[in-house]
Structure 1
Amino acid sequence: MADGGSPRSVLARGAALLRACGEARGPQTLAELALRTELPKPTAHRLLAELARLGLVERAPDGRYRIGLALFVLGQSAPSARELRDTALPFLGDLYEATGENVHLAVPDGSDTLFLEKLTGRRATPIVSRTGGRLPAHCTATGKVFLAHDPRPPGASLPRLTPRTLVLPGQLARDLARTRARGFGVNLEEAEVGISAVAAPVYGARDARPVAALSVTGGTRRLDMDRIGARVCAAARALTRALSG
């Protein structure tokens, strides 16, 4: 748990298990979920059984757990996220048609960046991100956009996902200053080896800080950062105007 201890209330424990299922890159065993949430196995097993009865998690034939369809439907009904996604989809489509690479719509979520939508295709470079998934903000282009406009400093202990992940506070601070100066964030193989990304901020009608970010992600050798950066910035400005209209 990020707060250094297991949650105490039943509701908080159930929420922790749902978050652990959602953050995982695939189905998780009971032991893995208990470890991630710092819950005793019997407690995790009992709560997962109740969550499965409600359709909020599903138990695969091999006994592992994943997010259930009921929770996905519930998440899709959140008005702010749905409206943002619906407004952004045409701009995401234009970016994909122009680049042929993976295109994301992301929002800040604590110390993470949360991917509300992802467009990809046969021409795009395979990457680990997925709709509804999270990655640490400090090693993603979208996350750097959020951190660059956040007056609070990033956490003191930053996970290293690749040899190029910026984990020293001074390094990251300089990179965030460059993000503010040029108007877009860059991830150079900091979340996945061989994969880079460019992201630009999206603002609401009355927001001084970004409410979302658009990004293009692909193989490092295939991305022309300046050209892609200009396209992503133009799309983000157009989406900002659409949200403000």
Structure 2
Amino acid sequence: MTGGANLDTVLGKAVTILRAFRADDHVLPLATLVQRTGLHKATVHRLANELVANRLLDRIDGGYRLSGGLFELGMLASLERSLLEMAMPFLQDLYERTHETVHLGVRDGHDVVYVAKIGGHRQANSPSRTGGRIPLYCTAIGKALLAFSDNEFRREVLSEPMTRRTPHTIVAPGILNTQLNRVVETGIAFEREESAPGLACVAAPVFGTNDKPVAAISVTGPTSRFVPESQVPYVRAAAEGLHSTIARRERLR
């Protein structure tokens, strides 16, 4: 059953239905929604139809899919929208310099949420997607954000069990903490086949006006040809450029 929402309220049940969709789902039959939510079939059917009426779900042959109305709502999220508008020129410049997959990510709980992803014809086969999430501990963006978080939050993340996504995923808290301390010293985070086999990544945090990271920028490529250390100056320049833009906009308010 999908967790997190209050199943005693209509709103909670509706949110549970929406959150039953996973990254790889295109269409879900009613039976699958019932199974994943744990709600009664009649309840799922009624609420799904109300979500269709409000353009949050589409009803098509075979079941339901998420509707474009959700995308419209997501694009109204003020922080991510303004951040993306400021970041896009730097992400595009970074892609032109590297011709590798470029990401912009923010922290949401213990995960990275990808706000933007730019990749060309030879982009890496990465598990990331715009709007998707991956745990902080196994991504370069996540390490960049986690390293500069407050000590209490870092301890909280390191104290929880970490799933080994690949043979190279670092799940030992002591080793990961040492890496995070190094990120604080250098301002650069690396990932080598920790979130998915065959991928390497380098990231830099983007600081806000309070010297806390509001996002991070990364470049990702296949280990067969990608050397993350060679991309450090470009990633750092993109992150510093976005920081300057954020600071300038704050001064003009």
Cα separation, partners in 2 of 1:180 and 1:7, compared to 1, 3 Å:
farther
1:234 aligned residue: 237
User: TM-score scaled by structure 2?
Assistant: 0.85
Preserved contact between residue 200 and residue 228 of structure 2 (Cα < 8 Å) = no
1:163 aligned residue: 167
Preserved contact between residue 114 and residue 133 of structure 2 (Cα < 8 Å) = yes
1:176 aligned residue: 180
Cα separation, partners in 2 of 1:190 and 1:107, compared to 1, 3 Å:
same
Preserved contact between residue 106 and residue 142 of structure 1 (Cα < 8 Å) = yes
1:1-245 to 2 correspondences below 5 Å: 7-21=7-21, 23-27=22-26, 29=28, 30=30, 33=33, 37=37, 39=39, 42-63=42-63, 65-150=64-149, 151=151, 152=153, 153-154=156-157, 156-206=160-210, 208-245=211-248
Give the gaps of 5 or more residues in structure 1: none
Count residues in correspondence.
Answer: 241
Q: Tell me the secondary structure at the aligned position of residue 211 of structure 1.
A: strand
Cα separation, partners in 2 of 1:39 and 1:200, compared to 1, 3 Å:
farther
User: TM-score scaled by structure 1?
Assistant: 0.87
| Distance of 1:216 and 1:229 partners within structure 2 | 9
AA aligned opposite 2:74: G
Preserved contact between residue 6 and residue 37 of structure 1 (Cα < 8 Å) = no
Deviation at residue 37 of structure 1 after TM alignment = 4.8
% same residue? 41
Give the gaps of 5 or more residues in structure 2: 249-253
Deviation at residue 94 of structure 1 after TM alignment = 0.6
Instruction: Report the aligned-residue RMSD.
Output: 2.3
Cα separation, partners in 2 of 1:111 and 1:39, compared to 1, 3 Å:
farther
Cα separation, partners in 2 of 1:17 and 1:24, compared to 1, 3 Å:
farther
Cα separation, partners in 2 of 1:8 and 1:221, compared to 1, 3 Å:
farther
AA aligned opposite 1:16: T
Cα separation, partners in 2 of 1:34 and 1:226, compared to 1, 3 Å:
farther
| Distance of 1:236 and 1:105 partners within structure 2 | 10
Q: Tell me the secondary structure at the aligned position of residue 191 of structure 2.
A: strand
Deviation at residue 40 of structure 1 after TM alignment = 5.1
